[in-house]
Structure 1
Amino acid sequence: MNAVLAEQAITRTGGNAAERGLLRFITAGSVDDGKSTLIGRLLFDSKGIFADQLDAMSRAKHKRTVGDTIDLSLLTDGLEAEREQGITIDVAYRYFATPKRKFIIADTPGHEQYTRNMVTGASTADAVIILIDVSKVKLGDDGSVELLIQTKRHSTIAHLLQIEHVIVAVNKMDLVNYDQKVYDRIVAAYVEFAKTLGLKDIHPIPLSALAGDNVVTRGDKLGWYQGPTLIELLESLSVYDESHDEPFRFPVQLVARHNGHEADDFRGYMGRIEAGKVRKGDKLVVQPSGQTATVKDIQTFDGSIEQAVVGQSITLLLEEHVDISRGDMLSAADRPAELLKTVHADLCWLSEEPLDLRRKYWLKHTTRQVGARVTKIESLLDINTQEKRAADEVKLNGIASVTINVQQPLAADAYDAIRSTGAFILIDEVTHQTVAAGMIRLA
């Protein structure tokens, strides 16, 4: 909730949050790699924890530290089941700031069972910290290095979701006496794997979240490492929202009318700008109907404005009376979205029930929900080898390329071009459970 309130406060000031130094990042990796402890260490050492929170953690019955030492993982593991088992189950959001930048952190689960929760946290992230526990990596005498499957799975998801920056945090260096050779071998193995994915912006860093070495302060035992600490690295990452330069996209959430007792026939279209910008007098096209209209006014909570940009929630008034309802898309007339009846996409399957080509699903895209059926599984991705193979089903946590037919056309973009209008979810028609997260790929 704190993260949501923080983001709302940033949005109310106008403009784009990324330009004011906000960085959204997640932690990912395998079970017990130290993700929650790392976030707790970040907050503790950067003075982002209140006194009552420290007191509550020191008295927690499920803490796993000796004596008066605080179990920093309890700061994000808030569920009783999480504290009892010592694992992260749900996504926990935390907000903190340094003099140089504001941060929203998503602590995501490491268990394969909760990969769907990791996908949720990663969907809005600018950066990901992939934690690797040095004590779990198998180092062969022949020089081979075997990374854990969850490290590969989360890296694959980060690539599919196009997270811009990947920080490879080699954690628990204290367990190998801060051995540089161990660190170098693990980083070399990860870089080699990242090449098969196509990940480019990789930042390796050695640290010990429990001891605090190289998180906020520089540890003496890592003197051989000449790079920045983790917090310095997070403060330096560039975040540029390319959706500023993309064509205007405005999914309509609500049609606003006056209360019926006024002569003025007010009709406004409310929503959030997902890409581009809009000014009074701009020509727009209503999708999927194809009608055109001109922007008459742009209303916000604080009154009328001349221009609005991506990320702002506004009400648009149009010169023409056109048929527009929730689920329609207002797009730049000269660069409209693609109208799709057949959708080619990559799917992360999130349900324990496998994908069934005979079943119908609801496809939720921006504010539009339409009936859909997966007609073909093009290929299934092997996480270990990154090879695509033929398959007739997709099980929990599977990543597949599929073809989907929808009952009504979608105004959409390729996920590679505009993330918000290239993403969707599939919902089971019977249980109403979200069963998949998808990314649209255009030929």
Structure 2
Amino acid sequence: MAAQQDSPYAPDALIAADIDAYLEAHRNKTLLRFITCGSVDDGKSTLIGRLLYDSKQIFEDQLSALEADSKRVGTQGQAIDFALLVDGLAAEREQGITIDVAYRFFATPKRKFIVADTPGHEQYTRNMVTGASTADLAVILIDARKGVLTQTRRHSYLAQLIGIRSVVLAVNKMDLVGYDRAVFDAIVADYRAFAAGIGIADFVAIPISGLAGDNIAARSAATPWYDGPTLVDHLETVPVDAEADRAGPLRLPVQWVSRPNLDFRGFAGLIAGGTVKPGDAVRVLPSGRTSTVARIVTLDGDLPEAGAGQSVTLTLADEIDCSRGDVIAAAAAPPEVADQFEATIVWMADDALLPGRPYWLKLGTQTVTATVQPPKYQINVNTLEHLAAKTLELNAIGVANLSTDRPIVFAPYRDSRALGGFILIDKLTNATVAAGMLHFALRRSQNVHWQAIDVTRERRAALKNQKASVLWLTGLSGAGKSTIANLVDRKLTRMNRHAFLLDGDNVRHGLNRDLGFTDADRIENIRRVGEVAKLMTDAGLIVITAFISPFRAERQMVRDMMAPGSFIEVHVDTPLAEAEKRDVKGLYAKARSGQLKNFTGIDSPYEPPEAPDIRIDTTGMSAEAAADLIVDYLLAHE
């Protein structure tokens, strides 16, 4: 290691007999996770490099390589460019910026640290959110020459939004303003006025120079007017979130069920809040069943007590149903269970939010389907204004209601990150598109309950001597969906089958007359039709639909609504050129001339089914033959 023998941070100053004691003390140190954030070129990477250097976390070969790289890229007269320790991507070194989140580990005699260097550019705000999601503290850097900037406000707002409880305002590059106290005081006053407006009640302000090392690990003679702690002193003593989390009631999201043999059944997970001891009364949610803790099992043996931040396996005194996604909680203080919420959403995808589209929602160990309603408002992070918005674009922050397909266990984000923070995942691409924080459950989610009905859909279908099904015809306008659907309806009626036809144009005269043809309206159009079709299948009917339904995600959404095996996707496959040639309604001509916007196939996409149950090529098959094919398929699968 590149360590000086007189440094308090130098492990090589230890004699061999003390190594075991040193390692044991190191294992028992508390861990602080923090992020550095701020605007571009505020010196975040340089600061982290300086922390690594001053805490002697750099090996000799790393130091030699760093010195060589520093000479190659130039370092403003300094021997070492500390930012190169953190900027690992080639693109980062070439541009002199941070793009990805870089995590680094270091330690002092008092504490261990994991620091995340987050990007300053607005286009990488989503990466900043990722780094902040597990942090206990945020170091907000400000260039002393520039003062409080837009991205400073954005990152401060995000840090507060994500629940970071401790903030350090590091006014950097004080050496470039002559260590002027007036400059420092003006910046602190400006930031304090902004911070109060976003809910940051208190912060620690430190004048520093990452490049020169002023007030990083040692006090600087250049700032005799500053009498506060150095950055390292503050990082070593600030309380960490895990300490506060232990004070609350028990919360253990179940990660997996351990069943190595017939004599053992345990529930493993990371304790998100509170403490637990054998004999404690617990409640398993969402079922609500109760039991008591029998054992706390770890690889090192049973524990008499465990608390927030520890991974354990609990065994219960009773055989009750509990699986991944459930939450084991204190019986007397359980978290809430609901399926509709208000939430703040940080949109992280290049494609905008589509209200009504189903996404995977992952909260702790729970994964459910969720839909987001049109935002109530979007937040301007510079002025904190609430702006009207129909959707959320990349890096936008908004407040919206969302609903899940089944109740989930949650707590408001302000009370629990583990049970209040979630991500949204695109079902088709598996890309994470948003991060969010739950505020509260909507009152209607608590007041509206499923009413048990004695007569089942199977009983109603049996009375009609048929299997309740949905025949979902999808394809371009002019493909022949309505013609084929009408023939299918007639054939089934002649066979004394109870069927009903829902046609795309017809439902827009009534049920969906308030909807247009934007992507969001198309999604809502299909959602409503899907709900109606589900009610009709519950009545035992065969439902025939004829809708363009251009998006795979929404067709999958309707399939998921139905009983397994009752949704039959029929792709009426007609090439665009052929459909446009027919143009019975004159819609393609209007779309080509610009009179009709958002028309599928022209200026709005159509996503054909990848594996339809039935594919009909209308260029080589008559409508009559297509209807026969569909009816035969239906009867064969009854």
Provide the TM-score with structure 2 as the length reference: 0.63
What secondary structure, in the 3-state scheme, does the structure 2 residue paired with 1:219 have? coil
Q: Is the 8 A contact 1:244 1:275 kept in 2?
A: yes
2:382 aligns with one of 374, 381, 384: 384
What secondary structure, in the 3-state scheme, does the structure 2 residue paired with 1:395 have? coil
1:244 aligns with one of 243, 246, 257: 246
1:39 matched to 2:53? The reply is no
Q: How does 1:64-79 map to 2 (within 5 A)?
A: 64-65=74-75, 69-79=79-89
Residues 358 and 440 of structure 1: CA distance in aligned 2, closer, same or farther (over 3 Å): closer
| Superposed CA offset, 1:346-391 (max 9, x none) | 1111111111103111000111100000023122111111122321
CA distance in 2, matches of 1:102, 1:224: 30
Answer 1 or 2: which has greater helix percent: 2
| CA drift at 1:20 | 3.7
Q: What letter matches 1:179 in structure 2?
A: D
| CA drift at 1:258 | 2.6
Answer 1 or 2: which has greater strand percent: 1
Q: What letter matches 2:342 in structure 1?
A: H
1:256 matched to 2:258? The reply is yes
In structure 1, the residue matched to 2:624 is none
1:296 matched to 2:294? The reply is yes
1:407 aligns with one of 386, 405, 408: 405
1:369 matched to 2:367? The reply is yes
2:344 aligns with one of 324, 342, 346: 346
| Superposed CA offset, 1:289-317 (max 9, x none) | 22222222221101222322111111111
| Superposed CA offset, 1:270-289 (max 9, x none) | 11111112222222222112
CA distance in 2, matches of 1:337, 1:105: 31
CA distance in 2, matches of 1:28, 1:67: 25
Pairwise CA RMSD: 2.0
In structure 1, the residue matched to 2:6 is none
Q: What letter matches 1:385 in structure 2?
A: T
CA distance in 1, matches of 2:239, 2:142: 24
Q: Is the 8 A contact 2:29 2:110 kept in 1?
A: no
| Superposed CA offset, 1:401-436 (max 9, x none) | 111100011101111111211111111111111111
Q: What letter matches 1:355 in structure 2?
A: L
1:102 matched to 2:104? The reply is no
| Superposed CA offset, 1:216-266 (max 9, x none) | 23333222222222222222323352221211111111112135xxxx432
1:58 matched to 2:67? The reply is yes
2:305 aligns with one of 298, 304, 307: 307
CA distance in 1, matches of 2:128, 2:42: 15
What secondary structure, in the 3-state scheme, does the structure 2 residue paired with 1:417 have? coil
Q: Is the 8 A contact 1:40 1:76 kept in 2?
A: yes
Q: Is the 8 A contact 1:96 1:104 kept in 2?
A: yes
| Superposed CA offset, 1:314-335 (max 9, x none) | 1111222222221111111111
In structure 2, the residue matched to 1:136 is 146
1:30 matched to 2:39? The reply is yes
In structure 2, the residue matched to 1:357 is 355
Q: Is the 8 A contact 1:57 1:74 kept in 2?
A: yes
1:92 matched to 2:105? The reply is no
| Superposed CA offset, 1:168-197 (max 9, x none) | 111111222222222211111101101111
Q: Is the 8 A contact 1:341 1:407 kept in 2?
A: yes
Q: What letter matches 2:248 in structure 1?
A: E
What secondary structure, in the 3-state scheme, does the structure 1 residue paired with 2:73 have? coil
In structure 1, the residue matched to 2:548 is none
Q: What letter matches 1:352 in structure 2?
A: D
What secondary structure, in the 3-state scheme, does the structure 2 residue paired with 1:99 have? coil
What secondary structure, in the 3-state scheme, does the structure 1 residue paired with 2:376 have? strand
CA distance in 2, matches of 1:200, 1:440: 22
1:123 aligns with one of 133, 150, 156: 133
Question: Larger deviation: 350-359 or 149-158?
Answer: 350-359
Q: Is the 8 A contact 2:343 2:399 kept in 1?
A: yes
Identity %: 53
In structure 1, the residue matched to 2:421 is 423
Provide the TM-score with structure 1 as the length reference: 0.89
CA distance in 1, matches of 2:317, 2:32: 38
| CA drift at 1:134 | 2.1
* Gap runs ≥5 in structure 2: 1-22, 442-638
CA distance in 1, matches of 2:30, 2:312: 23
CA distance in 2, matches of 1:133, 1:23: 25
Q: Is the 8 A contact 1:131 1:169 kept in 2?
A: yes
| CA drift at 1:119 | 1.0
CA distance in 2, matches of 1:294, 1:227: 49
CA distance in 1, matches of 2:399, 2:420: 15
What secondary structure, in the 3-state scheme, does the structure 1 residue paired with 2:191 have? helix
What secondary structure, in the 3-state scheme, does the structure 1 residue paired with 2:170 have? strand
2:326 aligns with one of 309, 325, 328: 328
Q: What letter matches 1:365 in structure 2?
A: L
| CA drift at 1:341 | 0.6
| Superposed CA offset, 1:15-49 (max 9, x none) | xx9x9432221100011110000111122123222
Residues 245 and 229 of structure 1: CA distance in aligned 2, closer, same or farther (over 3 Å): closer
